[in-house]
Amino acid sequence: MWKIAIKPGKPLAFGSIGNTPFLGLPGNPQSVFVTFNILARVFLAYKQGQRHNVIPKPVPVACDFEVTKAQSRREYLRVQLVATADGMRLQKHANQSSGVLSSAVWADGFAIIEAHHTVQKGESVGFVSLNNC
């Protein structure tokens, strides 16, 4: 496997060399952060014999931000889960660039924006906590 339709997250290589599994992560810090937490952790847990609750399940949470430009691939935004007067909301880090490592330290998890979708403020999207990855 070489290409996956997530942002950030390209390129990713997965296969085997002989009988040894090989996972090649991308070069940008955020691409590594996303692909490791979403894909590599699942693979490693499975190889260690874990079979239950291995794949993180997104929960719907309302956004305090908008996504006005639809992407051609699923996007994982670094977000914080914040208590507001309107309930729990997701706040997006100001800089989602794949080269910015500070958003990984700041984030509680990922907001999942499906390919070809926009998001209005207050709309619910899937949230995956880094505690559950």
Domain ranges of the chain: 6-47, 59-129
| pLDDT tens for each residue of 17-69 | 999 999 999 989 999 999 999 999 999 999 999 988 888 899 999 999 999 99
**Which of 42, 45, 40, 38 has its CA nearest to residue 76?**
38
Fold for 59-129, please state it: Beta-clip (2.40.340)
pLDDT of residue 13: 92
Tally Cβ neighbours within 10 Å of residue 39: 19
**How confident is the prediction for the chain on average, in pLDDT?**
93
pLDDT of residue 133: 63
On whether the CB atoms of residues 124 and 63 are closer than 8 A, the answer is yes
pLDDT of residue 4: 87
